[in-house]
Amino acid sequence: MSDLKRLILEMGVGVDLYGMDYTKAAKRAVQDAIHHSSLTLFKSLNMDPNAMQIELNLAAQEPEKIDLQEVAKELPYGQVTPKAIKGGLNVPEEETERVSVIVNAGIIVRYPL
């Protein structure tokens, strides 16, 4: 098998406004990223989308609160390797003491060519 080649980079942002649910925000970030494109190359070139190696990078203020396996299920094809790091943004609302959480996603897809 030949080397893996980086083919795709998608980015997204997800927010949970009221529940401080980092997993929900991370899922929304992944959905935001993948719904910006239609990857016709797999069908056009008769490529197996399940052969993709997907690096799922998530950034949140409290990355340990993200259920990585649950978020990885948002990607319909390929072999997903998820990781979470410190980043993103928490936005407090002083009047209600609620905190909105923002998670960023960077999805890198590699394929054996």
At residue 97, the pLDDT reads 86
| Residue (of 102, 30, 103) closest to 69 by Cα position | 30
pTM of the model: 0.92
* Full residue range of the structural domain in which residue 27 is found: 4-112
* Cα 14 from Cα 25, distance rounded (Å): 5
At residue 37, the pLDDT reads 78
List the CATH number of the domain containing 52. Answer: 3.30.1330.20
* Cα 70 from Cα 28, distance rounded (Å): 12
* Cα 45 from Cα 77, distance rounded (Å): 16
At residue 1, the pLDDT reads 42
At residue 2, the pLDDT reads 58
At residue 42, the pLDDT reads 82
At residue 39, the pLDDT reads 77
Measured over the CA atoms of residue 106, residue 107, residue 112 and residue 113, the dihedral's sign is negative
* Cα 16 from Cα 102, distance rounded (Å): 7
Q: What angle do CA 89, 20, 18 make, to 5 degrees?
A: 105
- Stated length of the chain: 113
Residues of the chain with pLDDT under 70: 1-2
- Number of domains making up the chain: 1
